[in-house]
């Protein structure tokens, strides 16, 4: 069983999608060893508790700087034996050593079709506000490996949805979560835990 840790900051609906996939038998080679939150108030922690998954909290404000915080996260992940890490709505930029330690073993879900609407400053509702302001006709989600540069790692999977006339950022966010993120993320995790994903020259190859 591959040990999976999920990093969260808020609602944890993507975490829930992973937990549900596990219950349905769609993550046969993986088990959740830890849900690590940047905030003690994250609802994601309740979801973890209900599912019987160990929880930990590491608050950025308790550390001198980004690097010290990142070291604490890495230590906690090691304590729980995490082999694979999922950033699922984790709202804090980790220092480069995280991507080094977990090279090709950490994945992130971003609520847009990378390379559109991504990078520093594109998080939460802001992503969808910018997509609507640009007038694009489709958006979606991307699951990618984490590298030192924000939202720039090798792309594992993407899924698109139409943008509709009267969409608000909230409505679009919900559609992208339901139709893209909650489907793509557990699927990518399954492939990763089954050793079916390889990275060569910065590109992902999937052995289906």
Give catalytic residues, as residue numbers: 110
Per-residue contact track with ligand GRF, 153 to 182, x per CB under 6 A? ------------------------x---x-
For residues 17 and 169, what is the distance between their CA atoms, to the nearest angstrom?
21
Closer by beta carbon to ligand GRF, 167 or else 181: 181
186 touches ligand GRF (CB under 6 A):
no
Total residues at the site for ligand GRF (CB under 6 A)? Answer: 15
Pick between residue 13 and residue 139 the one whose CB is nearest to ligand GRF: 13
Any contact of residue 140 with ligand GRF (CB under 6 A)? no
Which residues, 6 or more positions from 119, have their beta carbon under 8 angstroms from its beta carbon? 150, 151, 152
- The CA distance from 26 to 48, in Å, is 18
Measured CA to CA, the distance from residue 102 to residue 173 in angstroms comes to 28
Q: Which of 3, 11, 116, 158 binds ligand GRF (CB under 6 A)?
A: 11
Closest approach of Cβ 189 to ligand GRF, in Å? 13
Residue 28: count other Cβ atoms within 10 Å of its Cβ: 11
Q: CA 131 to CA 100: how far, in whole Å? A: 31
Site string for ligand GRF, 84-113 (x = CB under 6 A): ----xx-------------------xxx--
CA 91, 96, 99, 101 dihedral sign is: negative
CB of 173 to ligand GRF, least distance (A): 6
Candidate list 13, 38, 139, 147; residue touching ligand GRF; CB under 6 A: 13
Q: Which of 5, 12, 74, 113 binds ligand GRF (CB under 6 A)?
A: 12
Q: How far apart are CA 200 and CA 106, in angstroms?
A: 16
| SS3 of the chain: helix, strand, coil, percent, to 5 | 40, 25, 40
Class of residue 100 by CB neighbours under 10 A (exposed 0-12, middle 13-18, buried 19+): exposed
Residue 124 lies near ligand GRF (rule: CB under 6 A): yes
Residues making contact with ligand GRF (CB under 6 A): 8, 10-14, 88-89, 109-111, 123-124, 177, 181
């Amino acid at each position: 069983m591959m040990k999976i840790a999920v990093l969260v900051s808020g609602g944890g609906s993507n975490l829930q999608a992973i937990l549900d996939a596990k219950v349905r038998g769609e993550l046969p080679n993986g088990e959740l060893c830890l849900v690590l939150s940047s905030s003690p108030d994250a609802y994601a922690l309740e979801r973890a508790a209900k599912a019987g998954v160990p929880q930990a909290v590491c608050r950025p404000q308790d550390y001198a700087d980004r690097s010290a915080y990142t070291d604490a996260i890495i230590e906690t992940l090691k304590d729980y034996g995490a082999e694979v890490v999922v950033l699922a709505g984790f709202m804090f930029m980790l220092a480069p050593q995280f991507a080094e330690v977990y090279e090709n073993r950490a994945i992130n879900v971003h609520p847009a079709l990378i390379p559109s609407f991504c990078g520093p400053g594109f998080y939460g509702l802001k992503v969808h506000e910018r997509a609507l302001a640009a007038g694009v006709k489709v958006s979606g989600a991307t699951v990618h490996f984490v590298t030192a540069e924000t939202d720039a790692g090798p792309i594992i999977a993407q899924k698109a949805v139409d943008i509709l006339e009267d969409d608000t950022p909230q409505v679009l966010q919900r559609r992208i979560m339901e139709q893209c993120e909650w489907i793509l993320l557990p699927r990518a995790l399954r492939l990763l835990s089954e050793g079916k994903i390889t990275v060569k020259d910065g590109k992902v190859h999937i052995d289906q």
